[in-house]
Chain A
């Protein structure tokens, strides 16, 4: 039982990270019909950029971290929208989706050639000790991940629902035409969404890299899990992405522990197909909300 709870908590921790990536993914989809197939690489890259900044300029970790994050937000928050999405959106959803696939290849191969083909360790922000809680030994790192991820998601929810800026963003996502008529600077709101997506990716990257190390190919799995989390939870909702992410994380952790470590990746696939067959609008989605 104690073992089971430990796996459960590990699953919730990784699931919370997938949820962060999935939330960014749905935000960007909602405001600009961009299906970002590079989402996994978005989570992979910040850690790599930080390590690269530390290595190249000999900076201390905190300065390298700030520089790496700033560069990432600039290029993959604002730059991604201005250079890739804006010129492409008029060609339709499919070419844009393919463009993000091309981008994912560039990011992955760029990280491999420009940084390292090997996995590099990434410093953890919290001690990696185990604590004993009511007879269950829990990794402090997992607890910290859960706290940080949920704080980030809570902050986001508050921002979107509780502030004027956030509500303007929501209006833009729901109906850009009406939002424009109401005087909301739609373009700026869309840009804000892309920046938020990049910021969520940074948080996810900082949380996951100490566990899975910084490696160019990490994005494949993270991306896959984030997409599946978004679909399982219901494509158009922050809440759905959260539930989907946790579900996938827990399913993955338990599958690795009790079924097969080699085929742990197969479990989300089964979950995905099951959801598509039974409830294609997602667990938390309502039928009319599904626009894809």
Chain B
């Protein structure tokens, strides 16, 4: 056991340095994105905002998959729950967006706990199957309960919120709002992953047996990671509804959940910036590869498949690998 212990202590020392870089990276990224849409036009700005919103959803899934080592096939369904909760509360009941946002998070957190509890009684891949079935159920609910969700016609005229009296109707204003919310949520996650809680998540993924023997309540932490991850899905949905201003069942289907999961893997599961990279590949790249059209999903899935064979840590893992190789080379030259 001494060899892995030594390895672990090295591993735990290294992130300490990387974490400050991560914080700076987040703040810098937010600052760049604040100004990025200048001169990009309405649609370009919309794509950037959409990228960030999807990143939030992928971030949550990254917590579940990358840190707690569980696969959830219902992240799009959780986004749907958040989006519909927000849309219904704000358009039909006149609730403020902020309250709806909080409620969406709470709702998805609670549903995550309810779903995860039975599934995680029997470890590993049962959560995948339970969430798979759940995602189908949510899709049915959204499509069939027309009195509440508008069925296939969806809900339109979803208003964008105010911020301290400033109206956020314009694409640029709302984009900046999305940047702030994304920053707040990713800082929260950054803090979470760094906290003793987050360390416990990582311990689970690296070596569940050892984590359990050290007194980490494996099940409780996995459940919590899944519930928080689901809540991020709810937050993402809650932002998605006012961004698009119209929602219908199609973006919350099972295929979309699979797509989100592939984004986590493509970006690099377990990396703080992985979700941004993954969502960039999944959301922004298809805009540039317009000629590929509906073939894009196939191309994307093939890229992920290839990445999984070559480097299961995704693009972030590839970059890290390249960076280490480069450092070793320059270090040797000196």
Q: Which residues of A are interface residues toward B (Cβ below 8 A)?
A: 35, 37, 84, 87-88, 91, 93-95, 97-99, 101-106, 108-110, 112-113, 220-221, 224, 227-228, 231, 262-263, 265-266, 268-269, 272-273, 276-277, 280, 290, 292
Contact = CB atoms under 8 A, between A and B. Distances in A.
Contacts of B308: 88, 91, 95, 98-99, 102
Contact of B144 (A108, A227, A262): A262
B301 A273 contact: no
Instruction: Give the dominant DSSP class at A's interface.
Output: helix
B312 interface: yes
Nearest to B124: A292
A47 B298 CA distance: 20
B118 A273 contact: yes
Contact of B262 (A84, A88, A105, A110): A105
B82 to A, nearest CB: 21
A106 B295 CA distance: 9
Contacts of B134: 269
Contacts of A277: 118, 121
A35 B128 CA distance: 10
Contact of B137 (A110, A221, A265, A280): A265
Contacts of B136: 220-221, 224, 265, 269
A109 B256 CA distance: 12
Interface of B: 65, 69, 71, 73, 118-119, 121-126, 128-130, 132-134, 136-137, 140, 144, 254-255, 258-259, 261-262, 265, 294-295, 297-298, 300-302, 304-305, 308-309, 312
A99 B302 CA distance: 9
A119 B309 CA distance: 34
A99 B258 CA distance: 11
Given A91-B308, A113-B294, A269-B134, A105 B258 contact: yes
Given A113-B294, A265-B140, A266-B140, A97 B262 contact: no
A108 B301 CA distance: 11
User: Which 10 pairs between the two chains have the least Cβ-Cβ distance?
Assistant: A269-B133, A105-B301, A280-B122, A102-B301, A102-B305, A95-B312, A109-B297, A106-B301, A87-B309, A262-B144
A265 B136 CA distance: 8
Instruction: Give the dominant DSSP class at B's interface.
Output: helix
B262 A98 contact: yes
A221 B308 CA distance: 26
Contacts of B144: 262-263
Given A98-B71, A101-B261, A262 B126 contact: no
Contacts of A109: 294-295, 297-298, 301
A88 B128 CA distance: 19
Contact of A276 (B69, B119, B302): B119
Contacts of A99: 305, 308-309
A227 B132 contact: yes
A98 B261 contact: yes
Contacts of A108: 255
Contacts of A98: 71, 261-262, 265, 304, 308
30 contacts: A37-B128, A91-B312, A94-B71, A95-B265, A97-B71, A98-B261, A98-B304, A98-B308, A101-B73, A102-B262, A102-B305, A103-B305, A105-B262, A105-B301, A109-B298, A113-B294, A113-B298, A220-B254, A224-B133, A224-B136, A227-B132, A262-B144, A265-B136, A265-B137, A272-B133, A276-B130, A280-B122, A280-B126, A292-B125, A292-B126
B305 A106 contact: yes
Q: Which of A105, A108, A221, A290 has the most CB of B within 10 A?
A: A105
A165 to B, nearest CB: 30
A113 B301 CA distance: 14
A193 B264 CA distance: 31
